[in-house]
Structure 1
Amino acid sequence: MKPSIITNNVTPKHSNGKRFIISCFFIICFLCTLASINEIRYESLLNLSKCAFSRAPSLVSNSSSLDSFPPSLRTIKSSPSSDDEIRVLVGILTLPDQYHKRHFLRMIYGTQSPEGARVDLKFVFCNLTKEDQKVLVALEIMRYNDIIILNCSENMNKGKTYTYFSSLPSIFNNNEGPYPPYHYVLKADDDTYFRLDNLVKSLRPLPREDLYYGYVIPCPSMDPFVNYMSGMGYLVSWDIAEWIKESDIPKAHLKGPEDKIFGNWMRNGHRGKNRFNAKWSMYNYPEPHTGCTHELWPDTIAVHLLKTQEKWIKTLEYFNVTKNLQPSKMYHIP
């Protein structure tokens, strides 16, 4: 046998083996490099697949229940009665120039945290008319986002209350959040102090539809179906705000004492079949003494006619609103 023939038969076998090993080595290196580069992507993909598999059983087994779907997949409005958290919109009707009063009320209400409820406070007034308002109110909105500017001329008894209630559905109804956006809407004067925790507790057992709530006028009356609720602050369920927006009854009767006019809407439209008289947890400040007031007491929901700083301070002192002030080396308040 010729050596050359043997050499030619053996050399290709070793050469092919080396090529195979080198190729495998480079392939492994390439895969390791690719895996290192894409580690985050693989991790995210893995988490996404785990999330999908963890959701899958509930989506299939409970497909007949809306609660089994993420909120973004729900296509109908959720039932208010199934919602344990009470949502309340407090609209304080005031004037654009009342900057100091708004800042004061932000402190008053910002330190209250009613349990089991979401209470949003908004200051409500009509269109701005001065150059300084356009700057200062814009700064307030940027800082606090708690102002509603209605499309109206500033007034007390010529339709401002109607514009307030009728504007709310257009402002707050949307397809992204819960329905209704608020269970209750409160109209309040800027000289009324509401104790939000007591307000929420009083609302908890009440209906969330066709509700009309407040301090019954005249003062001696305890029957909420006879006249109307005092303008110091009255509350209605969200469906009534929607009715005010759509009905011709309020539109035809706008001028006059706003709380009395509102009561007329309720009567003429056969609304407010559920009514709650919050008297005597709502009342006027004790001085001067009248048939609409009594002394301050712990079960208070609202105190009205706080026309001076002195009356505000006495009221806040009575309810010990600074009791949760924490001690600090930065101040000494005896």
Structure 2
Amino acid sequence: MKRNRWIVLVTLPSLILPLLLFIIFFNVQYFLKPPPPNPSSKLSTMYPNQTQFSLMIGILTRADNYDRRHFLRLIYGIQSSPLATIHVKFVFCSLTKPEQRVLIALEMLRFDDILILNCTENMNSGKTYTYFSSLAQLLPRKYDYVMKADDDVFIRLEPLALSLKALPRVDLYYGFVIPCASMNPFVEYMSGMGFLLSWDLVEWIGSSEIPKESVFGPEDKLVGKWLKMGNKAKNRFSNKPAMYDYPGTNGRCSHELIPETVAVHRLKRWDQWLRVLEYFNVTKGLNL
């Protein structure tokens, strides 16, 4: 009898241990197991968002403008539109400093939103031409539209996409027509605050001799000249008053902030950005 008890006492731990391990394993698996799928997420997988067109916004800036890029990533990272696939890229010319090569490499690894052009940084010596003429080689895909924008403009992506919804996808030139008082997009050219071309015009700039022979001078004016000389951009749209310069900064190109705004230009100071962001309730829902 004693011998049997001794056998039970000796073998009992070896029987209990596997049971305990099984219980622990079962509970760990239970907590690690992902929650049941949300019905809405299942529906979104079955019926993915069908955007109607694609747009790439190239913000022409300088390599050393690190703070401005990080700020704009916040501005555009919280915006989207169900109508369009919209990608925002930062565009500048060749790097010239050792620290740029390190810091910008980190940005590219983290954000993948930088295009480096083969040019020397400039305002009126061919950067815009290099931008448009290089896109077919630099981008991994085609877009319906490509936009050139300044880094002191606030673009509201949803109103922008809505304004493009019914417009042609080819031979299109869109923006804020100059002179400021004009409402006729066929007379002069679109302001550099942010103008948009359909992809076929981007390809034309890259292949035509017309732009190549005229790259020095006010670059946004030159784009209008190229299109006129090439008999291009038969579809033109000037989105006034939804695009404008910040109140009081540029005569008749400026007016007060309005709800239907697509783009506000000449935001040079932080207090101007603050007023714009507050006006459009960009951070609504957060009580800080």
Counterpart in the other structure of 1:172: 139
How many angstroms apart in 2 are the aligned matches of 1:114 and 1:249? 35
After TM superposition, the structure 1 = structure 2 runs for residues 22-33 of structure 1, keeping only pairs within 5 Å, are none
- Counterpart of 1:151 (choices 115, 118, 123) is 118
- Report the AA paired with residue 200 of structure 1: A
Counterpart secondary structure, 1:291: helix
The match for 1:228 among 177, 189, 193 is: 189
Query: Which residue pairs with 2:164 in the alignment?
Result: 203
Deviations 1:107-155 (A, max 9, x none): 0000102122110000000000000000000000000000000011111
Instruction: Give the match for residue 73 of structure 2.
Output: 106
Detail structure 1 runs of 4+ shifted over 3 Å in the superposition. none
The CA distance in 2 between the partners of 1:303 and 1:233, in whole Å, is 10
Whichever of the two has the greater Rg, that structure is: 1
Distance 1:131 1:247 in 2: 36
Letter in 2 for 1:134: R
State, as a whole percentage, how many aligned pairs show the same letter. 57
Question: TM-score when scaled to structure 2?
Answer: 0.81
1:137-179 deviation digits (Å, cap 9, x = unpaired): 00000000000000111111100000000111112366xxxxx
**Aligned residues between the structures:** 239
Deviation at 1:257, TM superposition (A): 0.6
- Per the TM alignment, residue 289 of structure 1 is displaced from its structure 2 partner at its CA by 6.2
Task: Please give the secondary structure, in 1, of the residue aligned with 2:252.
Answer: coil
CA distance in 1, matches of 2:208, 2:172: 17
Q: Give the whole-Å Cα distance in 2 for the aligned partners of 1:254 and 1:147.
A: 23
3-state SS of the aligned residue for 2:251? coil
Gaps of 5+ in 2: 1-49
Q: Distance in 2 between matches of 1:226 and 1:289?
A: 21
CA contact (8 A) 2:115 2:138 kept: no
Of 136, 142, 154, 1:193 maps to 154
- Cα 1:134–1:205 change in 2 (3 A) is same
The alignment status of 1:266 with 2:224, answered yes or no, reads: no
* TM-score normalised by structure 1 residue count: 0.70
Q: Which has the higher mean CA deviation after the structures are superposed, 151-160 or 165-174?
A: 165-174
List gaps (5 residues or longer) in structure 1: 1-82, 175-180, 326-331
Aligned residue for 1:155, secondary structure, equals coil
Q: In the alignment, what sits opposite 1:124?
A: 91
- Residue 279 of structure 1, CA deviation: 1.1
Aligned equivalents of 1:168, 1:92: Cα separation in 2: 13
Of 250, 261, 280, the residue aligned with 1:300 is 261
- Give the letter aligned to residue 220 of structure 1: A
Aligned to 1:323: 284
